[in-house]
């Protein structure tokens, strides 16, 4: 197996460094801007929150402040891209792509233009702001659009790589970011390529397919399960579309059951995508960890993750529920 160069720490015992995933985007965008003068940016009145401020300060002439107007945000992006620019357009995921789906569909995806939609503050871990701001349907909304690439990085280090990769990609893209500090599990050496899933922990009993903030939880769950005698394989899937079917299928063919994990609606999200793939090509006992067709609510991020069953402990519990299938 390829060395994934994860952080050299005991995920259950050691304190991992953490940082908001969006911070990695901010650094990546600045770097992409230095590499390519056609990289430009626009924001809907959330420049600091989405970490676009680094770019805006470095390249004021290549930054457009749109105001609180998300429909305009993505359609101005389409116009910039039609003239050869590579625009990154950011807001909170609840508003973009939450509010402007049709504009994304028609002016970006049907036009096949390389606009990069950056949705920050996705998931229930947004916390006290409550359900209106906790975007859970964005993965679903974006992955049904033809031409669209959908990426949810696991940590800030991967977000930086994903941003640089998106800047070079010719397709429309969606980058999903989170608000809260997320433990850093990857390093500069960890591979990242659009369209690739990675086996972070090899195992033979159950495959845990995870994305975004839930990848850390899945790694921790695998450690817990190992102690319980269940050998879990963690497949990190930062690109939800196009889905890396080959890596997923090869893992699933080797193990006996499948769990997906995401901080998003399981309906149509990563769970939905994997279910579609496996139902057609390799049916397996399967459970989906994520938001189960309901909205979030106000609370502290940790409380909410616990409340909605989005922790390592919950993933491990689900694996135990599959125990009958895991025995030879």
Partner 1 sequence: MTKMSLEELELKANDIRKDIITMLEHAGSGHSAGPLGLADIFTALYFDILKHDPSKPNWNQRDILLLSNGHCVPVRYAAMAESGYFEKSELLTLRKLGSRLQGHPERTKLPGLENTSGPLGSGLSQAAGMSLAMRMNKDLHRWVYVVMGDGELDEGNIWEAAMLAGKYKLNNIIGIVDRNNIQIDGPTESVMPLEDLKGKWEAFGWHVIEIDGNNIEAVIDACAMGRAIVEKPVVIIAHTIPGKGVDFMESDFHWHGSPPNHEQAVKALKELRTLQGKIKSEAHD
Residues that bind partner 1 (CB under 8 A): 40, 61-62, 64, 66-67, 69, 71-72, 75-85, 87, 102-103, 106-107, 110-112
In the complex, least distance from residue 116 CB atom to partner 1, rounded to whole angstroms: 14
- Exposed, middle or buried by CB within 10 Å (0-12, 13-18, 19+), for 135? buried
Of 39 and 162, which CB lies nearer to partner 1 in the complex structure?
Answer: 39
Token output for 242: 């196009």
Of 108 and 222, which CB lies nearer to partner 1 in the complex structure?
Answer: 108
Of 69 and 245, which CB lies nearer to partner 1 in the complex structure?
Answer: 69
Looking at the DSSP bridge assignments, the partners of residue 182 are 19
Residue 158 and residue 28: Cα distance in Å, rounded? 10
Of 48 and 67, which CB lies nearer to partner 1 in the complex structure?
Answer: 67
In the complex, least distance from residue 154 CB atom to partner 1, rounded to whole angstroms: 32
Vertex 264, ends 78 and 271: CA angle to 5°? 100
Of 8 and 61, which CB lies nearer to partner 1 in the complex structure?
Answer: 61
CA distances from 88 to 39, 62, 75, 242 (A): 8, 11, 12, 20
Residue of 31, 37, 70, 137 marked active site: 70
- Exposed, middle or buried by CB within 10 Å (0-12, 13-18, 19+), for 125? buried
In the complex, least distance from residue 111 CB atom to partner 1, rounded to whole angstroms: 5
In the complex, least distance from residue 27 CB atom to partner 1, rounded to whole angstroms: 23
Of 91 and 311, which CB lies nearer to partner 1 in the complex structure?
Answer: 91
Token output for 103: 């504009």
Q: Which of 161, 69, 147 is nearest to 114 (CA)?
A: 147
| Residue 160 appears among annotated catalytic residues | no
Q: Tell me which DSSP letter residue 15 carries.
A: P
Strands (E), the chain: 18-20, 39-43, 63-65, 86-92, 116-120, 149-151, 173-176, 181-183, 198-201, 206-210, 232-236, 239-241, 257-265, 286-291
Of 59 and 325, which CB lies nearer to partner 1 in the complex structure?
Answer: 59
Q: Give the sheet arrangement for strand 239-241, strand by strand.
A: 63-65, 39-43, 86-92, 116-120, 173-176, 149-151, 239-241
In the complex, least distance from residue 166 CB atom to partner 1, rounded to whole angstroms: 18
Hunting for tokens 């992955």 — which residue is that?
143
In the complex, least distance from residue 97 CB atom to partner 1, rounded to whole angstroms: 15
Q: Tell me which DSSP letter residue 314 carries.
A: H
Hunting for tokens 């496996």 — which residue is that?
278
* Core vs surface per residue 223-251: b (16+ CB within 10 A) or e: bbbeeeebebbbbbbbbbbebbbebbeeb
In the complex, least distance from residue 78 CB atom to partner 1, rounded to whole angstroms: 5
Task: List the catalytic residues.
Answer: 70
């Amino acid at each position: 197996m390829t060395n994934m160069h994860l952080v050299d720490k005991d995920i259950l015992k050691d304190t991992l460094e953490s940082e908001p995933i969006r911070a990695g985007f901010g650094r990546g965008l600045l770097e992409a801007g230095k590499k390519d003068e056609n990289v430009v940016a626009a924001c809907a009145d959330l420049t600091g929150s989405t970490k676009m401020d680094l770019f805006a300060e470095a390249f004021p002439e290549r930054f457009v402040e749109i105001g609180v107007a998300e429909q305009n945000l993505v359609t101005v992006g389409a116009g910039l891209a039609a003239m050869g620019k590579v625009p990154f357009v950011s807001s909170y995921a609840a508003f973009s792509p939450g509010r402007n789906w049709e504009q994304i569909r028609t002016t970006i995806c049907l036009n096949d233009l390389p606009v990069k939609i950056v949705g920050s503050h996705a998931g229930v871990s947004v916390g006290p702001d409550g359900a209106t701001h906790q975007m859970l349907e964005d993965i679903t909304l974006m992955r049904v659009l033809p031409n669209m690439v959908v990426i949810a990085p696991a940590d800030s280090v991967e977000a930086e790589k994903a941003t640089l990769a998106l800047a070079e990609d010719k397709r429309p893209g969606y980058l999903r970011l989170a608000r809260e500090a997320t433990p850093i599990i990857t390093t500069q050496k960890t591979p990242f390529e659009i369209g690739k899933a990675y086996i972070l922990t090899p195992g033979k009993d159950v495959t845990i397919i995870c994305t975004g903030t839930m990848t850390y939880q899945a790694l921790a769950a695998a450690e817990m399960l190992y102690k319980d005698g269940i050998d879990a394989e963690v497949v990190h899937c930062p690109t939800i579309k196009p889905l890396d079917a080959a890596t997923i299928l090869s893992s699933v063919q080797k193990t006996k059951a499948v769990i997906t994990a995401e901080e998003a609606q399981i309906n149509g999200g990563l769970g939905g995508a994997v279910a579609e793939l496996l139902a057609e090509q390799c049916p397996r006992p399967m459970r989906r960890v994520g938001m189960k067709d309901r909205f979030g609510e106000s609370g502290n991020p940790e409380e909410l993750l616990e409340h909605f069953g989005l922790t390592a402990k919950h993933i491990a519990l689900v694996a135990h529920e599959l125990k009958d299938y895991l025995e030879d």
